[in-house]
Amino acid sequence: MPFKVAIVGRPNVGKSTLFNRLTGRRHALVDERPGVTRDRRSGEVTLLDLTFIVTDTAGLEDAPAGSLEARMQEQTEKAVAEADMVLFLIDARAGVTALDRHFAQLLRRARPPVVLAANKCEGPAAEAALGEAYALGLGQAIPLSAEHALGLSDLRDAIAAHMGEGEESGDETPEDVDEAVDAPLRLAIVGRPNVGKSTLVNRLLGEERVLTGPEAGITRDAIEVEWSYEGRPIRLIDTAGLRRRARATGKLERLSAQDTRHAIDFAEVVVLVIEAETGLEKQDLTIARQVIEEGRALLIAVNKWDACKDRPAAQAAIGDRLMRSLPQTGGIPVVPISALRGQHLDRLMAAIFEMHKVWDRRISTSALNRWLASALHAHPPPAPAGRRLKLRYATQAKTRPPTFVIFCSRPKAVPASYLRYLENSLRTDFDLPGTPIRILLRKGENPYVSER
């Protein structure tokens, strides 16, 4: 098992900045206002010769029971319980506060060892806080500057002191190598705010891994969770709700939307969650088009199906809207579910695996050229300006999504309507429902015809 380090501290001390610095990516949202991070977020770190897992958490603060802040703190407590080491971060510029003392007292009772670090130590004004930090009873504070990457070697030494033998080098065992070969399926859950995305993630995982509640827009970061379903490794990604850009107010919401779009870009299968009563709204179709344009496999999960009063009418309305608004991607699977009650989630997972197979399907060149000859015979290409177009040869360039190259005499003269005909014919003849199909036209000669 990899060594786990949880970063904790009061709000706005730089936990997410340090998380981004250690992981080498801007995974966690960073803003000047406190309380930006709500869910715990993990990432793999290679720090000099060490390899470990680091978890970013919400800020520690006193909150009334049942509030959103209290639920955020529960997530932080779970991260501490699962960690092998806790990195308690304080703000050297602000000095040691009463809240730091309160939570340091709580952390001294925690099971994992606690290492104290003082962030924002890039100036001489922080030296006084390093002296005050002794009063917390957690030993000498490690001076850091997450923003300027200062003090990381000292942090490496502190983590190495708590790691077991053989874990410092990060070497993989033969079992680890075998697992690395079987790459996890990247599955993103997207949709409008408050449609049940996080509830679905928690139900699939079988635990309260991400925050849920009646408040809209609870999820801000795209949270990645390593998971396994029936022996198949999956990287499950919960995302923030996407509203129309005109309604997205403030820098933080725009950053959340950007994080969600980044998750779509790097996913393999995307599940668009909608509500049964409202059906496919304009924003849902906008999200679906983004997924299709990015070339990802798309499924639609109709949530709150148990509360739907007229199910046949709702199903017919969704099918009709898909037919009219997304005709270029026929056969998108639509699975009715209830995330709250866990209904039909096995059907959803079966559809996800099937869509991944379709998205990754490869068709032989001989079968493609037999299809091309049949398609040309059934519907010959037009003759712009009286000159007949010749489509000579087809091959599959790549998968994920299925991408085909057709060599023809004049690529620029082929009308878009004829390309749509070829795409629909490909989708029907080779059973490629719901997945984006890309057809590229190239000018070239048929390789099966010998040179004169």
In this prediction, residue 37 carries a pLDDT of 63
Of 60-69, 178-187, 374-383, 385-394, which one has max mean pLDDT? 374-383
**How far apart are alpha carbons 76 and 213 in whole angstroms?**
17
Q: What is the pLDDT of residues 91-132, one digit of tens each?
A: 888 888 888 888 888 888 878 899 999 998 877 666 766 778
The pLDDT of residue 423 is above 70: yes
Residue position matching structure tokens 């049940």: 196
CA 409, 411, 414, 420 dihedral sign is positive
What's the pTM?
0.76
Going from N- to C-terminal start, the domains of the chain cover: 4-171, 176-359, 365-443
Instruction: Name the E strands within 332-390.
Output: 334-336
SS3 (DSSP) at 446? coil
The pLDDT of residue 31 is above 80: no
**How far apart are alpha carbons 165 and 281 in whole angstroms?**
55
Question: What is the DSSP code string of 262-298?
Answer: HHHHT-SEEEEEEETTT-S-HHHHHHHHHHHHTT-EE
Query: Cβ-count burial of 432 within 10 angstroms (0-12 exposed, 13-18 middle, 19+ buried)?
Result: buried
4-171: CATH number: 3.40.50.300
Tokens of 337: 């579910």
SS3 (DSSP) at 247? helix
**How far apart are alpha carbons 232 and 227 in whole angstroms?**
8
In this prediction, residue 213 carries a pLDDT of 65
pLDDT classification of 403: cutoffs 50, 70, 90: very high
Minimal CA–CA distance to 359: which of 289, 270, 273, 242? 270
Could you please state the CATH topology (level 3) that the domain comprising 176-359 is classified under: Rossmann fold (3.40.50)
Q: Which residues contact 91 (CB under 8 A, 6 or more apart)?
A: 12, 13, 14, 118, 119, 120, 129
The pLDDT of residue 12 is above 90: no
Describe the crossing of helices 365-378 and 416-429 by its angle, rounded to 10 degrees.
Answer: 120
Q: Residue 442: which H helix or E strand, with range?
A: strand 438-443
365-443: CATH number: 3.30.300.20
Give CA 8 to chain center in angstroms: 23
In this prediction, residue 165 carries a pLDDT of 42
Number of H-type helices and E-type strands within the chain: 13, 15
Average pLDDT in the chain: 84
The two domains 4-171 and 176-359 share their CATH topology (first three levels equal): yes
Tokens of 140: 């000498």
SS3 (DSSP) at 40? coil
SS3 (DSSP) at 314? helix
Q: What are phi and psi of 336, to 5 degrees?
A: -75, 135
**How far apart are alpha carbons 322 and 271 in whole angstroms?**
15
